[in-house]
Amino acid sequence: MRKWISFPHREGTVSRQAHADLPAEGIYEREVGRSGFFGPATHLHHKHPPTAWSAWEGPLRPRAFDLNELPQQGGMPFAAASVLKNAHCDFRIWSVDQAMPALFRNGDGDDVLFIHEGSGELFCDYGHLSYRDGDYILIPRSTSWRIEPAARTSMLLIEATNGAYQLPDKGLVGPHAIFDEAMLDMAQIDDAFRAQQSEDEWQVVIKRRGALSTVTYPFNPLDAIGWHGNLAVCRINWRDIRPLMSHRYHLPPSAHSTFVAERFVICTFVPRPIESDPGALKVPFYHNNDDYDEVIFYHAGDFFSRDNIKPGMLTFHPAGFTHGPHPKAFAKAMSDPKKFTDEVAVMIDARDALEQGEGMAGVEWSGYVDSWKPKA
């Protein structure tokens, strides 16, 4: 058994409540925390923005990538460009406009597909699902599947390498908060699924330990006539998520957790009212998340805490430095706050350091690190 050292203490001029009622005008709060947003934390109050650096040298810096500029891929998902990865998570982006020529089975871990653009049909061992933009599709490890796009489809592929996805513990708010499990749509044995069954030759490409094997069948192996159990492909759209909110307190990203794996978590930021209490922060607080790398993929809307970010872009904040809202966004939130945010974004918090995939340097916005500098 072990236990964090606990010594709540106050020193100097402080606020009594984190993220609200700062002790003086022109003061900036910074949260230094462990274990994401669940461990011990201290809130320091600074005279200057903690991100107001004048220069940066070395590889540890905030990065932004425009994934719209990556070469378009087709064919099969294993050919998708790897954006960021570690031993427990592989984050890819894949664009496709033709039906997959074979089935795919990932033996290395569960996959979450997030549909950024497009629509179409997904067929798998468990049946058929239609998909559209904004869908999360959870595919358990070693499930055979394929898609038939009705419109060009761009998606995130988030692999829980050697792991599985579960739902977060919703604690005091109960299991029906954020979204009820009844909102999860299951693959169905419907007319569309039965219609695709045939005696034609099909291949299944299996990925295991990064290597590919191909199994050929003289029939379509998606030939189930029924199933029962509690393991299956399922789907939920961000539009079905009802976020936790507080009009008096800016909630941490962990309040927006959607799926949890062994060494990382997927969160979803969806439209919501902005805090209305006069003393509450209206934008994400400056913070050190010193145990997790933070990744945000921007799907749709106006990204109220960032400048020059558009849908299809991704930001990467490695653990180890202070980050937070851009200066213009922070100033506007304090002087003339919006009443509502319409942003939609997918966030990954990874416990282990993430490495960039090949080709990412070619789509990096190199000026991102300078976007926090005070304007002359």
Whole-angstrom Cα distance, residue 82 to residue 91? 6
Q: Looking at residue 4, what is its pLDDT?
A: 81
Q: What predicted TM-score, i.e. pTM, was given to this entire model?
A: 0.93
CATH topology of domain 72-172+180-238: Jelly Rolls (2.60.120)
Q: Looking at residue 66, what is its pLDDT?
A: 96
pLDDT tens per residue across span 300-313: 998 766 777 899 99
Q: Looking at residue 376, what is its pLDDT?
A: 55
Q: Looking at residue 305, what is its pLDDT?
A: 63
| Residue range 352-369: mean pLDDT, rounded | 94
Q: Looking at residue 83, what is its pLDDT?
A: 96
Name the pairing type of β-strands 89-96 and 144-161.
antiparallel
Whole-angstrom Cα distance, residue 297 to residue 287? 19
| Length of the chain (residues) | 376
Q: Is 190 annotated as a binding residue?
A: no
Which residues does residue 131 pair with via DSSP β-bridges, in sequence order? 120
Q: Looking at residue 13, what is its pLDDT?
A: 86
Whole-angstrom Cα distance, residue 361 to residue 130? 35
pLDDT tens per residue across span 103-134: 999 999 999 999 999 999 999 999 999 999 99
Residue of 303 and 198 predicted with greater confidence: 198
Numbered ranges of CATH 2.60.120.10 in the chain: 28-64+243-372, 72-172+180-238
Q: Where are the beta strands (DSSP E) in 209-256?
A: 211-217, 234-237
Task: Look at residue 285 and tell me whether its pLDDT is greater than 90.
Answer: no
Whole-angstrom Cα distance, residue 194 to residue 187? 13
Torsion of CA 366, 330, 116, 245, to 10 degrees: 150
If pLDDT is split at 50, 70 and 90, which confidence band does 217 have?
Answer: very high
Q: Which residues contact 128 (CB under 8 A, 6 or more apart)?
A: 121, 122, 187, 188, 189, 190, 192, 193, 196
Judge whether 31 and 40 are in contact, CB under 8 Å: no
Consecutive H or E run containing 89: strand 89-96
Instruction: Pull the structure tokens for residue 114.
Output: 């997030």
If pLDDT is split at 50, 70 and 90, which confidence band does 252 have?
Answer: confident
| Residue range 277-299: mean pLDDT, rounded | 88
CATH topology of domain 28-64+243-372: Jelly Rolls (2.60.120)
Nearest in space to 90 (alpha carbons), one of 358, 368, 369, 362 = 358
Task: Give the range with max mean pLDDT: 13-17, 24-28, 311-315.
Answer: 311-315
250 is catalytic: yes
Catalytic: which of 19, 88, 116, 250? 250
Q: Is 287 annotated as a binding residue?
A: yes
Rg (CA), the chain: 22
Task: Look at residue 240 and tell me whether its pLDDT is greater than 80.
Answer: yes
User: At residue 314, what are phi and psi to the nearest 5 degrees?
Assistant: -140, 135
Nearest in space to 261 (alpha carbons), one of 83, 108, 41 = 108
pLDDT tens per residue across span 55-80: 999 999 999 999 999 987 778 999 99
In which region does residue 363 sit, left (phi positive, over 0), alpha (psi from -120 to 50) or beta (all else)? alpha
Q: Taking CA 36 as the corner, what is the angle to CA 320 and CA 338, rounded to the nearest 5 degrees?
A: 95
- Grouping H, G, I as helix, E, B as strand and the rest as coil, residue 151 is strand
Consecutive H or E run containing 195: helix 191-195
Q: Looking at residue 137, what is its pLDDT?
A: 98
% of the chain at pLDDT higher than 70: 97
Q: Which residue has the tokens 């029906």?
A: 176
In which region does residue 324 sit, left (phi positive, over 0), alpha (psi from -120 to 50) or beta (all else)? left
Residue of 374 and 135 predicted with greater confidence: 135
Judge whether 202 and 102 are in contact, CB under 8 Å: yes
Instruction: Please spell the DSSP secondary structure of 291-343, one letter per residue.
Output: T-EEEEEEEES--TT-SS--TTEEEEE-TTS-B---HHHHHHHHHS--SEE--
Mean pLDDT, the chain, rounded, equals 91
Q: Which residue has the tokens 């903690």?
A: 50
Task: Look at residue 29 and tell me whether its pLDDT is greater than 60.
Answer: yes
Q: Is 293 annotated as a binding residue?
A: yes
| Residue range 245-269: mean pLDDT, rounded | 91
Whole-angstrom Cα distance, residue 200 to residue 217? 8
Burial of 86 (0-12, 13-18, 19+ CB in 10 A): middle
Q: Looking at residue 32, what is its pLDDT?
A: 85
